[in-house]
Amino acid sequence: MVEEEGWVRLRIILVGFGVVGQNLVKLLLSRADDIYLRYGMKPRLVATVDSKGVAVSQSGLDLQRLLEVKRLYGTVAAYHDDGQRGESADIDLIDRKKGGRCRVEEIIREMDAEVLVEATPTNLNDGEPGLSNITTAIKHGRNVVTVNKGPLALAMPSLLELAEYNGVMLRFSGTVGGGTPILEFAKHCLRGDRILSFKGILNGTTNYILSMMEDGLTFDEALNDARSKGYAEADPSLDIDGFDAAAKLVIMANWIMGMKVTMRDVRFKGIRDVRLEDILEAKKHGKVIKLIASCDESRRLRVEPMSIDKNEPLCVNGTLNAVTFTSEHSGELTVIGKGAGGMETASAILRDLIEVREAMGMGIGLNRS
Binding site for a copy of itself (CB under 8 A): 27, 31, 35, 39, 178-181, 184-185, 188-193, 311, 313, 316-317, 320, 322, 327, 329-338, 341, 343-344, 346-348, 350-351, 353-355, 362
Rounded to an integer, what distance in angstroms lies between the CA atom of residue 362 and that of residue 7? 10
Q: For residue 22, give the nearest of 252, 265, 342, 278 by alpha carbon.
A: 342
Rounded to an integer, what distance in angstroms lies between the CA atom of residue 245 and that of residue 73? 35
Rounded to an integer, what distance in angstroms lies between the CA atom of residue 170 and that of residue 164? 9
Catalytic residue list contains 248: yes
Comparing CB distances to a copy of itself, the nearer of 291 and 314 is: 314
Q: Which residues are annotated as a binding site for L-homoserine?
A: 233
If phi > 0 it is left, if psi is from -120 to 50 it is alpha, else beta; for residue 56 that is beta
Catalytic residue among 42, 199, 248, 290: 248
CB atoms closer than 10 angstroms to residue 110: 16
Comparing CB distances to a copy of itself, the nearer of 134 and 288 is: 288
Quote the distance between the C-alpha of residue 287 and its chain's center. 31
Nearest distance from C-beta of residue 136 to a copy of itself, angstroms: 26
Nearest distance from C-beta of residue 214 to a copy of itself, angstroms: 11
Nearest distance from C-beta of residue 216 to a copy of itself, angstroms: 17
Nearest distance from C-beta of residue 23 to a copy of itself, angstroms: 9
Comparing CB distances to a copy of itself, the nearer of 172 and 243 is: 172
Comparing CB distances to a copy of itself, the nearer of 188 and 275 is: 188
Nearest distance from C-beta of residue 237 to a copy of itself, angstroms: 27
Q: Which residues are annotated as a binding site for NADPH?
A: 149
Nearest distance from C-beta of residue 215 to a copy of itself, angstroms: 12
Q: Where are the alpha helices (DSSP H) in the chain?
A: 19-30, 32-39, 63-73, 88-91, 104-110, 130-139, 149-165, 182-188, 204-214, 219-228, 237-240, 243-257, 276-284, 342-361
Comparing CB distances to a copy of itself, the nearer of 141 and 337 is: 337
User: If DSSP codes are grouped into helix, strand and coil, which group holds residue 207?
Assistant: helix
Comparing CB distances to a copy of itself, the nearer of 154 and 320 is: 320
Burial of 329: CB neighbours in 10 Å, binned 0-12, 13-18, 19+: exposed
Q: What share of the chain is helix, strand, coil (3-state, %, to 5)?
A: 45, 20, 35
List CB contacts of 69: < 8 A, sequence separation 6 or more. Answer: 55, 75, 76, 78, 79, 82
Q: Which whole-number Å values give the CA distances from 29 to 23, 24, 67, 100, 208, in the listed order? A: 10, 9, 10, 25, 33
List CB contacts of 30: < 8 A, sequence separation 6 or more. Answer: none
Q: Which residues are annotated as a binding site?
A: 16-21, 149, 233
Active site members: 248
